Structure 1
């Protein structure tokens, strides 16, 4: 089921109001169809999860992971598996990659788009 819960919606709204420094930097790259015309949404609720950045047309989710994710690898793996079962591809990047080498992320999105063109 992809319909978000009220709790997920509230969490997404809170995260949009108070982004981390890394999420704000990533959003500056993606907003306004800034990446090859693809529209991304930030903090998008999907089922009982909130995707950091999602391009529905590409069925692509970008997750920006800070240090806490090392403690949540098992729950992140379950979440990624559920999202994959819904047809999404999840790309995870550490904060350092976003802040120091954003072109790495942009190139990964372009490669995904080339392999999985959006459906009309």
Structure 2
């Protein structure tokens, strides 16, 4: 029988890395933004990712820091670098990682419950509903 994932655990305590479900979710999120399928995020793809998470692109200083600190190939963030970036965020600010995961349609057990288009539609409908 498999180990039950605590909904608040993104990092597996036994191996000190992401739980398999968290890793799978993050890699799927990466693939949404890797439009050309080259296993790297270009500056434009990285901006799309930032907009998807925070509603605005990264500033130039943040992009430079990402490229300096995490694995890149030819000035593009690799999947390895993306996972490194999320690992650092998760160990210091797990709530931020949860926010990003949930924004991309996952629940607190890292199960995909909605795709991004359904999320946008729901957010738009929430804005249009009259306040009572």
State if a TM-score over 0.5 links the two structures.
no
Q: Which has the higher strand share?
A: 1
Tell which structure's C-alpha radius of gyration is larger: 2
TM-score (norm 2): 0.28
Higher helix share: 2
